[in-house]
Amino acid sequence: MKEKTSGLFNALLAGDRTDCLGKDLTVIENPRTDGPVNFPLKSDTTLSVIVTEGSMECIADMTVHRINVPGMLIILPSQIVESISFGSGFKGYCLIMSSSFMANLPMGNKIPLLANVRQNGFFPLEEQSLEAIKEYVRMVQAALRAPNNYKYEILTHLTVAYYYGLGTYIHNAADRDIRTTGYDRIANDFITLVRDNCHRHRDMDFYAGSLCLSAKHVSLAVKKVTGDSAMKWIERYTVLNAKSLLKTTTLTVSEISDRLGFPTPSDFGKYFRRFTGLSPRAFRDL
């Protein structure tokens, strides 16, 4: 296997106690980073960090989350993580769920929930919501620690209930907190498209066409909302994807060039060097 994504968060994090159901579900109590990790990374698992005390910092998809209030940070498999660190007084939990476990949850339409998670990342929690999530974690820990032949089924149903409750909270929080303008929506939709498609498309015509707007209008909205040009966002995500593949897979430079849609490895090398000052091989060897 050339991909090394499935165990990245498990390798990165340790804690006071770890309980797991094979590779499907892991709960880490009072997590901390453990040993060197090659950043940036993209895992195929969903990571949830419940912050009950203290502080932490995480950079995901170029968004910096500096957290010192109770709440929940969620990182989806499609997102690229550049760093995670925990303050000395941090207390809380990490939940790591495999893609297969998430895919097999018997839930209805997950798309609106995932869209809100991807857009916001961190959700401050009021005391009642925080206690409900902590109770879910305690029930999961108890199920994992007790001898039972139906652990998978128990954890599946617990998690479905948890996500339905979380989904209601997140949608309500979004309704309370997000007041978007037309330019905000265009910029958010553009960046989402770039994150999902920059390995295939690095031209403004594709993104403008996908948004049914002119390239000039999209560029204006992105510049006004983010302060950076649309092309700069495309370049950033392309380089970030390249860095993640170089650091967290054993794909060759040629294979990474193909995956990112460059005509030749030489073109990929020139592009990467232009933005990092290093060749792909030199960056991998850092």
**6 falls in which pLDDT band (50, 70, 90)?**
low
Please give the residue range of the domain that contains residue 192: 182-285
Please state, in angstroms and rounded to a whole number, the distance separating the CA atoms of residues 50 and 72.
Answer: 5
Assigned domain for 206 exists: yes
Statement to judge: residues 111 and 190 lie in one domain: no
Residue 1, pLDDT score: 37
Residue 176, pLDDT score: 47
Statement to judge: residues 189 and 133 lie in one domain: no
Q: How many domains does the chain have?
A: 2
Residue 265, pLDDT score: 95
Average pLDDT, the chain: 87
Residue 109, pLDDT score: 59
Segment 205-226 shows an average pLDDT of 93
Assigned domain for 1 exists: no
Residues 6+ apart with CB under 8 A from 200: 261
Residue 270, pLDDT score: 97
Least confident of 1-15, 75-89, 145-159, 170-184: 170-184
Of 116-120, 126-130, 213-217, which has the strongest mean pLDDT? 213-217
What would the pLDDT profile of 157-182 be if each residue is shown by its tens digit?
998 888 777 766 665 554 544 455 68
CATH of the domain at 32: 2.60.120.280
Statement to judge: residues 166 and 206 lie in one domain: no
Statement to judge: residues 37 and 168 lie in one domain: yes
Statement to judge: residues 13 and 84 lie in one domain: yes
Statement to judge: residues 23 and 92 lie in one domain: yes
Q: What is the value of pTM for the model shown?
A: 0.78
189-214 burial string, b = 16+ CB within 10 Å, else e?
bbbebbbebbbebbebebbbeebebe
CB 199 within 8 Å of CB 261: yes
Q: Where is 53: in which H helix or E strand?
A: strand 45-53
What would the pLDDT profile of 14-72 be if each residue is shown by its tens digit?
999 999 999 999 999 999 988 777 788 888 899 999 999 999 999 998 888 999 999 99
Q: Which amino acid would we find at residue 43?
A: S
